[in-house]
Amino acid sequence: MFDGKKIREDFPIFNSNKDLIYFDNAATTQKPKQVLDALQEFYSQCNANVHRGIYKIAVEATDEYEEAREKVSQFINSKIEELIWTRGATEAINQILYAWALWNLKKDDEIVTTIMEHHSNLVPWQLLQKNGVKIRYVNLNGDGTLNMKELENSVSKKTKFVTVTQMSNVLGTINPVEEIVKIAHDNGALCLIDAAQSVPHMEVDVKKINCDFLVFSAHKMLGPTGVGGLYAKQEILEKLDPALRGSEQIKSVSLFETEWTDLPWKFEPGTPNFADIVAFGYAVDYLKKLGMKNVREHERDLTKYALEKLQQISKLKIFGPLNGTRGGVISFQLADIHAHDMASFLDDNNIAVRSGHHCAMPLMKYLGISGTTRASFYIYNMKEEIDKFIETLEKAKQVFKV
């Protein structure tokens, strides 16, 4: 186990903002100095475009860049060839749309997904309706977990694709992805796991999950903005043409034809975001050093503590599972205080939370609400912060006269 207070010292932002209680980690996380230093050092010591350069700093830059891929692919237990760099989870999903789904899903084929998806794992697939593809949404149980019975009934031989988040960014629900992948495969469908909220917070092993695709974002796990990962099984990547096209991904180009180069570069046209990718490698080093089991336990601890305290506040409603497998994301509504007013009030007390629909409008509609206030935790959060948070909620009840 580890000490949130000590970890906090690694994060310069808490030096500039001494009293900041940052509970918006599902949106983006803060960065430790190890990552910021790596970024700075890269730019100050060996910045050069990667690949093809023969001079010293270009070789160094390329080595650092490919080392980051090694680190991150190890982190999710994929092969190096199976990890494609993208801008983030959203772009990764779009690459699957344009490299595979758009050309392979046909009229009357079905996609199965859930009502708890983030817009980024929902809006892309709507494009396929153009080609006559049908989308089916699986609903929830009363406690905010996924209705697995309904999922089993929804997946059929017509299903060509199942796409599910591993952890809801609103409810904190953790879905049984191994089971879902199995159901998909038993019906001949491919399966994508949106791991934007899981890879940062728990051990994720793509081989164990056995999914066909998995996506995540660096900025939600101590890394810089502008980097994400697309994992896909090698045999799938080998068969596909890349969606994004350009330089650096080719063996040879003639006027009317292009021969792609080897994996993973085949899917990475143009100059990659190499400096940030190198820094992302250091973010993963930082997490590895903490140990993902410990990260998960730390958050489980905080979440349990917070849920207990929150349940003692009258007129406070929590959306999402109260116990069982869930992550450190808590959505709530306090009496008739509008989520934005709640967030403003918390901000006045130096507590940063998010309010609104959390890019999950269909889920909001399903829950019959317009939004929630959401607190989400990470490694540098502490029980003392939760105490202050609970106190402030009590204060809000007075100010808002509920």
Partner 1 sequence: MTSMYAEEILDHYRNPRNFGELKDAQIKYKESNPLCGDEYEFYLKVNNGLVSDAKFFGDGCAISKASASMLSEHVKNKTLDDLKKMKLDDVLKLLGIEVSAARTKCALVALLAIQKGIQKFEGGKNDGSQR
Catalytic site residues?
359
Instruction: Choose between 160 and 358: whose C-beta lies nearer to partner 1.
Output: 358
- Euclidean distance between CA atoms 44 and 61, whole angstroms: 11
- Chosen residue from 45, 153, 271, 311 binding ligand PLP by CB under 6 A: 271
Residues 6 or more apart whose Cβ sits within 8 Å of residue 19: 350
Beta strand spans in 41-148 (E): 83-86, 110-114, 134-138
Fill in the per-residue mask, 115 to 154: x = in contact with ligand PLP (CB under 6 A), - = not in contact: ---x-xx---------------------------------
Restricted to residues 77-96, the positions that interact with ligand PLP (CB under 6 A) are: 88-90
Q: Do residues 66 and 203 touch, judged by C-beta distance below 8 A?
A: no
Residue linked to tokens 């101590």: 222
* 3-state class (DSSP) for residue 236: helix
- How would you class 64 by CB atoms within 10 Å of its CB: exposed for 0-12, middle for 13-18, buried for 19 or more? buried
Instruction: Choose between 373 and 392: whose C-beta lies nearer to ligand PLP.
Output: 373
- Chosen residue from 127, 148, 290, 322 binding its own copies by CB under 8 A: 127
Restricted to residues 163-222, the positions that interact with its own copies (CB under 8 A) are: 217, 219
Q: Which does 194 bind (CB under 5 to 8 A by kind): ligand PLP, partner 1, its own copies, none?
A: ligand PLP
Q: Do residues 322 and 144 touch, judged by C-beta distance below 8 A?
A: no
- Chosen residue from 333, 355, 376, 392 binding its own copies by CB under 8 A: 355
Pairing of strands 228-232, 213-217: antiparallel
Element (H, E) at 91: helix 89-96
CB of 133 to partner 1, least distance (A): 27
- Chosen residue from 12, 53, 291, 362 binding partner 1 by CB under 8 A: 53
40 lies in the binding site for its own copies (CB under 8 A): yes
Residue linked to tokens 């994720």: 204
- Chosen residue from 33, 51, 119, 300 binding partner 1 by CB under 8 A: 51
Q: Which does 57 bind (CB under 5 to 8 A by kind): partner 1, its own copies, ligand PLP, none?
A: its own copies
- Euclidean distance between CA atoms 44 and 204, whole angstroms: 34
Sign for the pseudo-dihedral over CA of 25, 30, 34, 37: positive
- Chosen residue from 223, 264, 272, 371 binding partner 1 by CB under 8 A: 371
Q: With CB under 6 A, what is the number of residues at the site for ligand PLP?
A: 17
Q: Would you tell me which residues interact with ligand PLP (CB under 6 A)? A: 26, 88-90, 118, 120-121, 165, 169, 194, 196-197, 217, 247, 270-271, 359
